[in-house]
């Protein structure tokens, strides 16, 4: 009788443990990266994959597909939105067309340091932008790569003033704020997908582009570009997104692991930038890139751009007060 009671008790315990045990099933996710391996996108994605594997005892595996293998950065937002792709790491400027309020983060000359980029993305403003992006684009931002200021490169000549830009064909992403920024500086830039940019520069379809030092190095742009100008008009942030429909299909335990891994990978990304950017800049100079500062401490650049571009995009980012609030949070 005693034995029977013990067996029944053991069965009940096993059954209730099964009910409360984390529901983690083995699965393999796909993650698209617009950049080549070795840059800030790769570092964020790789760290996320490692952390997620640790948190799920190896049950969740993430395969990384760099170099735009799974489509242009903007395509990956569409594909994730309809549940055809799990994850993507891409530049925030390529999310803006699907979720206009994140344009706040690409408003020129707003963010002036990596610390400011972290402050905006990790505080209330960042939380609101994540919610808006789920609503507008069907994707959830679960982490951030902090990639550094976008500097201008070109193959023709040193550029120090906006006048020096005249006659240069500069590639920009398909992003209205960035197009308007160059127009305010007096030229009509050429919108081109990121995955086509190296070839465009190599074949001389375009003369220049802007992206952070670590990205320039990962993409080997130094092989087709010589001159760099530290224009610092946009601090590049590259979110890690997950398809919202795929996120919602996960068990609460997997969702928790995904969110935690994203947060931890973000912390790592910030440190990676601090520890890597200077070295990469020196390496690019040693490989022959000529780096200059904008003349006049950037005054001419900043005034031409902010006076025209900011008012033009107030309504798309949700009103002037959104920018005012961001500036206030940054102490300006």
* Least gap, CB of 319 to ligand MLT (angstroms): 26
Task: Name the strand (E) or helix (H) holding 213.
Answer: helix 213-218
Which of 29, 35, 241, 317 binds ligand MLT (CB under 6 A)? It is 35
Does the protein bind ligand MLT through residue 34 (CB under 6 A)?
A: yes
Q: Which stretch binds ligand MLT (CB under 6 A): 7-15, 24-32, 44-52, 88-96?
A: 88-96
Residue nearest to ligand MLT (CB): 91
Q: What is the DSSP string of 246-265?
A: HHHHS-HHHHHHHHHHHHHH
Cβ closer to ligand MLT: 56 or 106?
106
Distances (CA, A) of 4 to 8, 11, 325: 6, 11, 68
Distance of alpha carbon 192 from its chain centroid, rounded?
A: 17
Sign of CA dihedral 9, 10, 13, 19: negative
Cβ closer to ligand MLT: 32 or 254?
32
Site for ligand MLT in 237-256 (CB under 6 A): 238
Does the protein bind ligand MLT through residue 93 (CB under 6 A)?
A: yes
Does the protein bind ligand MLT through residue 43 (CB under 6 A)?
A: no
What is the Cα–Cα distance from 84 to 163, expressed in whole angstroms? 45
Cβ closer to ligand MLT: 172 or 326?
172
Contact 41, 35 (CB under 8 A): yes
Which of 194, 213, 227, 247 binds ligand MLT (CB under 6 A)? It is 194
Distances (CA, A) of 61 to 27, 49, 110, 281: 6, 7, 37, 33
Q: Which stretch binds ligand MLT (CB under 6 A): 18-26, 91-99, 158-166, 304-312?
A: 91-99
Distance of alpha carbon 92 from its chain centroid, rounded?
A: 5
Binding site for ligand MLT (CB under 6 A): 34-35, 73, 90-91, 93-94, 173, 194, 211, 215, 238
């Amino acid at each position: 009788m005693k034995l029977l009671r013990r067996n029944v008790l053991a069965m009940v315990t096993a059954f209730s443990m099964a009910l409360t045990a984390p529901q983690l099933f083995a699965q393999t996710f796909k993650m698209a990266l617009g950049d080549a391996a070795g840059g800030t996108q790769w570092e964020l994605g790789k760290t996320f994959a490692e952390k997620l594997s640790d948190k799920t005892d190896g049950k969740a595996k993430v395969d990384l597909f760099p170099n735009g293998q799974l489509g242009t950065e903007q395509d990956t937002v569409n594909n994730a939105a309809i549940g055809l792709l799990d994850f993507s790491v891409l530049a925030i400027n390529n999310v803006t067309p699907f979720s206009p309020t994140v344009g706040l983060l690409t408003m020129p000359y707003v963010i002036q340091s990596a610390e400011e980029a972290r402050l905006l993305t990790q505080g209330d403003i960042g939380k609101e932008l994540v919610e808006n992006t789920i609503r507008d684009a069907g994707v959830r931002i679960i982490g951030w790569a902090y990639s550094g200021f976008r500097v201008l490169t070109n193959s023709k000549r040193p550029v120090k003033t906006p006048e020096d830009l005249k006659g240069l064909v500069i590639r920009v992403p398909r992003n209205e704020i960035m197009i308007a920024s160059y127009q305010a500086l007096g030229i009509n830039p050429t919108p081109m997908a990121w995955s086509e940019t190296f070839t465009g520069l190599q074949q001389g379809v375009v003369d220049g582009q802007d992206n952070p030092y670590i990205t320039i190095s990962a993409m080997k742009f130094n092989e087709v570009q010589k001159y760099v100008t530290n224009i610092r008009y946009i601090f590049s942030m590259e979110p890690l997104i997950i398809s919202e429909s795929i996120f919602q299909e996960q068990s609460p335990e997997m969702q928790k692991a995904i969110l935690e891994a994203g947060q931890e990978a973000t912390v790592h990304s910030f440190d990676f930038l601090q520890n890597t950017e200077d070295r990469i800049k020196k390496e690019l100079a040693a490989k022959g890139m000529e780096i200059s500062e904008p003349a006049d401490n950037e005054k001419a650049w900043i005034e031409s751009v902010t006076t025209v571009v900011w008012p033009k995009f107030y309504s798309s980012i949700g009103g002037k007060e959104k920018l005012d609030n961001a500036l206030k949070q940054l102490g300006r």
